Amino acid sequence: MGAVSGFFGTLASMIPLQFCVLDPDNQMFFDLSIFGHSARVNAVALITGLLIIAVTWAFALAINEIRHRWLARKRIIAATDSAPGAFVGYSFSPWIFIAPTVIGLALFTYYPAAQNFFLGTQLARRGVANTAFICLDNFASLITNPLQDAHYYVISNGFFFLAENARYLAVLGNSFFFSVLIVLCTNVLGIAIATVASQKIRGAVVYRTLMIWPYAISGVVVGVVFAVLLGGGGSGFFNQGLQLLGLPSLPFLSDPWWARISVVMAATWNKLAFNVLIYIAALQAVPKELLEAASIDGANAWQRFLNVTLPIISPYIFFVVFLNLNYSFFDLFAVIDNLTGGGPVNSTTNLVVDVIRVGVESRDIGKAAAQSIILLLIVIGLTYLQFRVLGRRVTYGVD
Amino acid sequence: MTPITAKRAVEKPPGPRLQAIREPLVVKRWYIHLLLWIIVLFMGFPLFYAVLVSTQSNAQMFRLQLTPGDSFGINLEAVLDRNIARLMFNTFAVASMVTFGKAALSIFSGMALVYFRFPGKSLVFGFILVALMVPGEVTIIALFRLVALDLGWGNTWTALVIPAVASPTGVFLFRQHFASITPELSEAAQLDGANPLQFLFRVLLPLSRNAVAALVVIMFIGAWNSYLWPLLIVTNPDLQVIQVGLSTLDDGLEIGRTYGPIMLGAVIASIPPIVIFVLMQKQFLQGFALTRNK
């Protein structure tokens, strides 16, 4: 199975390339140094190899998944196809009911997604209808493009490996940095707050309302307000407070690392209300008998939380973690754009912000489409991971 | 013992014994209340600060004054000068249209997926499920090219409303909701001679009032808060929405910048979604019960 899909995957990705990899005019090189050893790498060949691996892998997964589904369907085919309560004698109306949605999705989701693959191989400028085929140069330029003034110590700067001229790797590093920290902060804080808020206490519903209303606040408002709290022309609220305590003020939005921390703080606050909401519901579903039994066995509060509560709410944790991962990879644009604008010197530019910078501000649609394809690959990876983790029962018992 | 006395015994209100058992469940420890209030302040703090600064001048803000200032009138004037009323109206109109369209299409599609049998149904459902996984940001560059260049909808509300109306999330949630309603209902309706539309409007919608309300809240807040798409596709300030207008309030030079109007704009832009969210909280939480089953 794997060999067959591997063969077809390679074939499928080679045909549209028109063997342009072999064209000597299309060679782009960059210097890669890993732990001090430096080498000259052909970017087009590297990208082609990576694409073939990715496509093959995706094909193998898809075939495996379809086979799995097909086997599962055969077993439950009677249950799904009987459709109890279906209207009899209406063969045309379901199509009328569902056509607007299907047409809308085909035109505004599927067509642009497919168009990305075409535009990714083109030299396309914003506002210009004509395009020209340039092979994989858009992808290759992601790793050969000069870094200019970007700070990129997340994955480079001699500490892990140094990819010279790799602006996109720095952007990728920023995205992963944000995701890890945001998921960690929102979930730890969310569970902690929900633990307090789910106590049976007078006025619990009122407290819950007072805690979760920030759910309705937009990313723009979060960005704008935190820009005043943290920045404020160098003396925002936080720095005023630090000065009042006799401490030196911090360069929240002007230092690359502090700017990243600021984005994490703002995004954490933006998502916290949602997590608290879910975790309150999750914690209230924990059966009291189990907690009582544990305390009779001599478990203290922390042990009860670790050994009883946490395993029971773990499906909720996975669910929330995946939603937060999606948020921190794809929905941070409004916060970043209004808090730091991607700066200072690109240190808070993540994948989506870079797509907009390249595609809209630099007017290079082709390169932005190439970046969108990488975003799509990340989506596929996240979705696959989500199905693998959430598809399995994480804990026996209450759900 | 006769059946009558047995019934009476059941109907008897819970006696003092039962109440004594229930009582200790409600915790009355003051430090939990204190902790909860600290959390409430922490959660709301950035917006509370925004409300505070929206009444202050720059000097008062930089003095770390924690009482309302005297510049609310000036700030309001500055915000109104930036045409915030127009922006709010635009956002309200666009968000309402998007919400209505999304809800209507989702209800019809959900109904088609649950109450009809047609060839390729699971294929259509798969088509919608795959679209559910793809965030809009992934396709936004190609979508921008399609809508602005090929369709020529740049700088129109059409571009804001039409691409947003087909909602895989809405279809999926309504499908799950309708599938959880007992099929005997539609069988009974068919026996009574109802056609699908009569069944939808007389039976299904009155039954699904909570689910519809919850999804409308989620959709409205989502549409109200959308930023990236209007930022790209609309450049005419008369057609712009509040989220983009808000970030242009911030565009002043660092030196001449006054923070009061910016914060006032942020507060005004947040009022409608917060009010709707708090008013419809009960239905909204049931909407979450729906999403959690994903």
The interface pTM score, or ipTM, of the predicted complex is 0.84
Residue B279, Cβ neighbours under 10 Å: how many? 11
Query: Which residue range forms the structural domain that includes residue B148?
Result: 78-292
Residues B224 and B273 sit within 8 Å (Cβ to Cβ): yes
Q: How far is CA B154 from the centre of its chain?
A: 26
How would you write the pLDDT of chain B (294 residues) with one tens digit per residue?
Answer: 344 444 444 444 444 444 444 444 455 678 888 889 999 998 888 999 999 988 888 778 777 778 888 888 888 888 888 888 999 999 999 999 999 999 999 999 999 998 888 888 888 988 998 898 888 899 999 999 899 888 888 889 999 999 999 889 889 888 888 888 888 888 888 888 888 888 899 888 988 888 888 889 989 999 999 999 999 999 888 899 999 988 777 655 444 567 888 899 999 999 999 999 999 888 777 766 654 443
Task: Report yes or no on B89 lying in a domain.
Answer: yes
- CA nearest neighbour of A394 among A317, A303, A284, A324: A317
In a domain, B53, yes or no: no
- Which comes out higher in pLDDT, residue A107 or A87? A107
Q: Which residue from B97, B136, B130, B127 is spatially nearest to B109, judged by alpha carbons?
A: B127
Residue B32 maps to a domain:
no
Residue labelled with tokens 């009476």: B8
- Mutating which of B29, B55, B138 best tests the A interface, going by the most A Cβ atoms within 10 A? B138
User: Quick check: bond before B3 cis, omega within 30?
Assistant: no
Cβ-based neighbour number of residue B18 at 10 Å? 10
Task: For chain B, positions 19-48, list CB contacts with chain A under 8 A.
Answer: 25-28, 32-33, 35-36, 39-40, 43-44, 46-47
Q: How far is CA B17 from each of CA B6, B10, B27, rounded to the nearest angstrom? A: 19, 15, 19
Tell me if B38 is assigned to some domain: no
User: CA of A381: which chain B residue's CA is closest?
Assistant: B133
Residue keyed to tokens 């299409």:
B105
Domain ranges of chain A: 2-75+136-162, 169-391
Q: Do A240 and A233 contact (CB within 8 A), yes or no? A: no
Output phi, psi for B274, to 5 deg.
-65, -45
Domain with B228 in it: what CATH number? Answer: 1.10.3720.10
CA B200 distance to own-chain centroid: 24
* Residue A87 in tokens: 């209207």
Cβ contact B224–A218 (<8 Å): yes
Q: Which residues of B touch A356 (CB under 8 A)?
A: 140, 228, 232
Q: Could you give the residue ranges of the DSSP H alpha helices within A145-255? A: 167-197, 204-212, 219-226, 237-244
Asked if residue B20 is part of any domain, the answer here is: no
Fold observed for domain A169-391: MetI-like fold (1.10.3720)
Q: How many domains does one find in chain B?
A: 1
Residue B68 falls inside a structural domain: no
- Kindly write down the DSSP assignment for every residue of A28-72, as one continuous string: -EEEEEETTEEEEEEHHHHHHHHHHHHHHHHHHHHHHHHHHHHHH
For testing contact with chain B, the best of A70, A87, A206, A210 (most B CBs within 10 A)? A87
Residue B62 within any structural domain of the chain: no
Our measurement of the distance from residue A89's CA atom to the centroid of its chain's CA atoms, rounded to an integer in Å, reads 45
Question: Do B265 and B49 contact (CB within 8 A), yes or no?
Answer: no
- Per the domain annotation, does B28 fall within a domain? no
